[in-house]
């Protein structure tokens, strides 16, 4: 997950290393064979894949588009995908598919080759029953096999050398290059007969001192990627080799793993043609502030930045480009603008088809500290606003996998123009534009949050029985007679009226990330009242030895030792029990200055 930044200051590097929560997974097992993939709305292309120019093609030569999510956990000290403490793995994968995602990037660390035992697995009431007694690789087998059964693909991501943290280079003092190569070969052989696994991401986010094309065997990531790629192909010549960028090239710095400026001049060359896919990571201000976000031309400057760092490889038809990680909490207006611009740059599936940038969003998990996830903190409901941003670039119909049936697999177009047409204290009325389909649209499914609340034949619906002064988010999907379901529409949010009474109140809690010379404070504001807030203000006291150097998602001012944070236009309205968060960064000029504080929150309604 986020720990990808091109940061020059040591303090900022320490901040990022501490803030990234996940980004972080026995001897080699026999080759595993996949079960036939069922005909499904969301299916990736049949068989193993290869490349041609900037396209990725399936076994039959049909272009495909990776449109997926990162599901992390195997690379952490849990040694298993996160969230299985709450849900069965099948329901998790089924939900990914139902939302229109077709690929899972599955991070792991080299620790899982030591026979690690998963922790935090919920096996009560028959949940995850077939995972009982398995080691980490055995659980991974189950996840991969089930993904293949329902028509999804998997990209395995060597995310960390061990569960303790990620590394700048592909090796460390305790995990040498020889171990990295042996484990790449082992996991490639493990899934050699299973086309659910289409490729391996060789190492997550190489960064300084990693270089590209410098010729130093100890630091040249491009040369190492060639050695790693050959190790994979020696065990399974049909896999794609995903190669991330570095941090710096010829004095130009970018996000960790996101700088592919040198790949045009110094391409990765492998003994098997049609296997290399370049991968970039890209983030917004919830991960770290960068100069381009404050440029007066933002966001018009972003396509040029993306072109320079990785987009040129696609634009010049040199190779496919996969944005393997991108994400944001969406708490700031800058991040919202950035995500809209990036999604547009990736090229909508509706207009560019499979001849588009590939992508997997970071992350599916909600417990990614600096981005959050597609799922909410309950690990079940969907952040429909975040999911809605991705609607135009989802690609839910690549055609059947091995054993897939024929017939209509083309979903309807995404419903457009979803709008709130009326609100009362207990209801929200919606309307949207009709979808189109090659065989005809038969109806629409209306979702409140991540739950379907209605199936209707027309293009309007009133959702009743709601709570007063409460915010609700809605999306709509179209369906046809064959059962194909479109990707979700863009989300809309409505707040029911107060309904005569209630008062607003709020509470604030500060969480500190302190590294000595500086810190960040994440402040969570929660509406504790019975009516929606119109705004909020949080006040606390800090000694003058803590100097505020930045903030986000709030208007932060200081008068002596008193720090005041006020809500912004987009996060002042909170329904009862709803929460939002903002952050403050400070440097410590007095080593004795304590950062602990008791915040006082005041709400207006």
Task: Read off the pLDDT of residues 548-598 as tens digits, 9 standing for 90 and up.
Answer: 987 877 889 998 888 999 998 767 888 888 888 888 888 899 999 999 888
For 449-474, b where at least 16 C-beta lie within 10 A, e where not — what string? bbeeeeeeeebebebeebebbbebbb
**What is the average per-residue pLDDT within 525-535?**
85
| From 35, 59, 75, 205, active-site residue | 205
Better-scored residue on pLDDT, 97 or 206:
206
Helices (H), 237-356: 302-306, 312-315, 333-345, 349-352
How far, in Å, CA of 260 to CA of 212, rounded? Answer: 8
C-alpha distances (whole Å) from 258 to each of 161, 321, 327, 368, 440 are: 20, 11, 14, 19, 42
Going by pLDDT thresholds of 50, 70 and 90, the confidence category of residue 5 is very low
Least confident of 18-27, 428-437, 465-474: 18-27
pLDDT of residue 280: 98
Average pLDDT, whole number, for the chain?
Answer: 85
Rg (CA), the chain: 24
Architecture of the domain defined by 506-604:
Sandwich (2.60)
**What is the average per-residue pLDDT within 497-518?**
79
Q: 431: Cβ–Cβ under 8 A, 6 or more apart, which residues?
A: 417, 418, 419, 421, 459, 460
How far, in Å, CA of 38 to CA of 407, rounded? Answer: 13
Identify the CATH assignment for 10-393 out of 3.40.50.2300, 3.40.50.300, 3.40.50.970, 3.20.20.80.
3.20.20.80
The CATH code of the domain at 416-495 is 2.60.40.10
Check: pTM over 0.75? Answer yes or no: no
pLDDT of residue 553: 79
Region class of 218: left (phi > 0), else alpha (psi between -120 and 50), else beta: alpha
**What is the average per-residue pLDDT within 97-123?**
93
For CATH 2.60.40.10, the residue range(s) in the chain are 416-495
Residue 286 CB-half CA count within 13 A: 27
Two structure tokens written together for 312: 């040129």
Going by pLDDT thresholds of 50, 70 and 90, the confidence category of residue 520 is confident
Active site residue 205: yes
Angle subtended at Cα 265 by Cα 313 and Cα 237, rounded to the nearest 5 degrees: 70
Could you give the maximum distance between any two Cα atoms of the chain, in Å? 72
For CATH 3.20.20.80, the residue range(s) in the chain are 10-393
- Pairing state of beta strands 63-64 and 600-604? unpaired
Q: Is the pLDDT of residue 186 over 90?
A: yes
Count of other CB atoms within 10 angstroms of residue 150: 21
Q: 193: Cβ–Cβ under 8 A, 6 or more apart, which residues?
A: 31, 32, 33, 34
**What is the average per-residue pLDDT within 398-411?**
46
pLDDT of residue 8: 32
- Of the chain, the end-to-end C-alpha distance in Å amounts to 37
How far, in Å, CA of 122 to CA of 364, rounded? Answer: 19
**What is the average per-residue pLDDT within 102-117?**
96
157-169 per-position pLDDT tens digit: 999 999 999 999 9
Going by pLDDT thresholds of 50, 70 and 90, the confidence category of residue 233 is very high
Region class of 465: left (phi > 0), else alpha (psi between -120 and 50), else beta: left
CB-based contact 307:315 (threshold 8 Å): yes
CB-based contact 152:97 (threshold 8 Å): yes
Q: 176: Cβ–Cβ under 8 A, 6 or more apart, which residues?
A: none
pLDDT of residue 458: 81
For 105-128, b where at least 16 C-beta lie within 10 A, e where not — what string? bbbbbbbbbeebebeebeeeeebb
Q: Is the pLDDT of residue 11 over 50?
A: no
pLDDT of residue 342: 97
SS3 state at 360: strand
Residue with tokens 């899972």: 104
| From 59, 230, 244, 325, active-site residue | 325
Which helix (H) or strand (E) segment is 94 a member of? helix 89-98
For CATH 2.60.40.290, the residue range(s) in the chain are 506-604
């Amino acid at each position: 997950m986020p720990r990808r930044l091109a940061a020059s200051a040591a303090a900022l590097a320490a901040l990022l290393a501490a803030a990234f929560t996940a980004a972080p997974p026995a001897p080699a097992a026999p080759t595993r064979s996949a079960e036939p993939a069922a005909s499904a709305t969301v299916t990736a292309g049949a068989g193993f894949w290869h490349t041609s120019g900037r396209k990725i093609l399936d076994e039959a030569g049909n272009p495909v588009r990776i449109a997926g999510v990162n599901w992390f956990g195997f690379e952490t000290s849990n040694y298993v995908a996160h969230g299985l403490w709450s849900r069965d793995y099948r329901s998790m994968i089924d939900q990914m598919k139902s939302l229109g995602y077709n690929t899972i990037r599955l991070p792991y660390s080299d620790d899982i080759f030591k026979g690690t035992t998963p922790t935090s697995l919920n096996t009560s009431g028959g949940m995850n029953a077939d995972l009982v007694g398995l080691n980490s690789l055995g659980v991974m087998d189950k996840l991969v096999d089930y993904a293949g059964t329902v028509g999804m693909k998997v990209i395995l991501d060597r995310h960390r050398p061990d569960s303790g943290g990620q590394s700048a280079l592909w090796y460390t003092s305790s995990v040498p290059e020889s171990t990295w190569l042996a484990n790449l070969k082992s996991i490639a052989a493990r899934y050699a007969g299973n086309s659910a696994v289409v490729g391996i991401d060789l190492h997550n986010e190489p960064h300084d001192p990693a270089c590209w094309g410098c010729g130093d065997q100890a630091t040249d990531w491009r040369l190492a990627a060639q050695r790693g790629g050959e190790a994979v192909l020696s065990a399974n010549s049909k896999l794609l080799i995903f190669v991330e960028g570095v941090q710096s090239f010829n004095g130009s710095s970018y996000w960790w793993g996101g700088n592919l400026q040198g790949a045009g001049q110094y391409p990765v060359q492998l003994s098997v043609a049609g296997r290399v896919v370049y991968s970039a990571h890209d983030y917004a201000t919830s991960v770290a502030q960068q100069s381009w976000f404050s440029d007066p031309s933002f966001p018009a400057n972003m396509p040029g930045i993306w072109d320079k760092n990785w987009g040129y490889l696609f634009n010049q038809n040199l190779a496919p480009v996969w944005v393997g990680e991108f994400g944001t909490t969406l708490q700031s207006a800058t991040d919202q603008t950035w995500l809209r611009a990036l999604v547009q740059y990736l090229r909508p599936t509706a207009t560019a088809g499979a001849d588009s940038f590939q992508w997997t969003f970071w992350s599916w998990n909600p417990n990614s500290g600096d981005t959050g996830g597609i799922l909410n903190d309950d690990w079940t409901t969907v952040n429909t606003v975040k999911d809605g941003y991705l609607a135009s670039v989802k690609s839910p119909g690549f055609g059947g996998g091995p054993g897939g049936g024929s017939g209509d697999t083309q979903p309807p177009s995404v419903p457009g123009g979803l709008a709130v047409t009326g609100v009362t204290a207990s209801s929200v009325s919606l309307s949207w534009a009709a979808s189109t389909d090659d065989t005809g649209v038969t109806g629409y499914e209306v979702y409140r949050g991540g739950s379907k609340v209605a199936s209707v034949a027309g293009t309007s619906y009133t959702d009743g029985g709601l709570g007063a002064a409460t915010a609700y988010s809605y999306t709509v999907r179209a369906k046809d007679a064959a059962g194909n379901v479109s990707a979700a529409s863009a989300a809309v949010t409505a707040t029911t009226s107060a309904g005569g009474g209630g008062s607003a109140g709020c509470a604030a809690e500060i969480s500190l990330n302190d590294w000595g010379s500086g810190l960040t404070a994440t402040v969570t504001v929660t509406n504790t009242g019975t009516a929606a807030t119109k705004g909020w203000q949080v006040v606390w006291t800090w000694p003058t030895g803590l100097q505020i150097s930045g903030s986000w998602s709030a208007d932060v001012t200081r008068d002596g030792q008193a720090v005041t944070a006020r809500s912004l236009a987009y996060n002042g309205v909170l329904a009862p029990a709803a929460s939002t968060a903002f952050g403050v960064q400070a440097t410590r000029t007095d080593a004795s200055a304590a950062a602990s504080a008791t915040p006082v929150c005041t709400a207006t309604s």
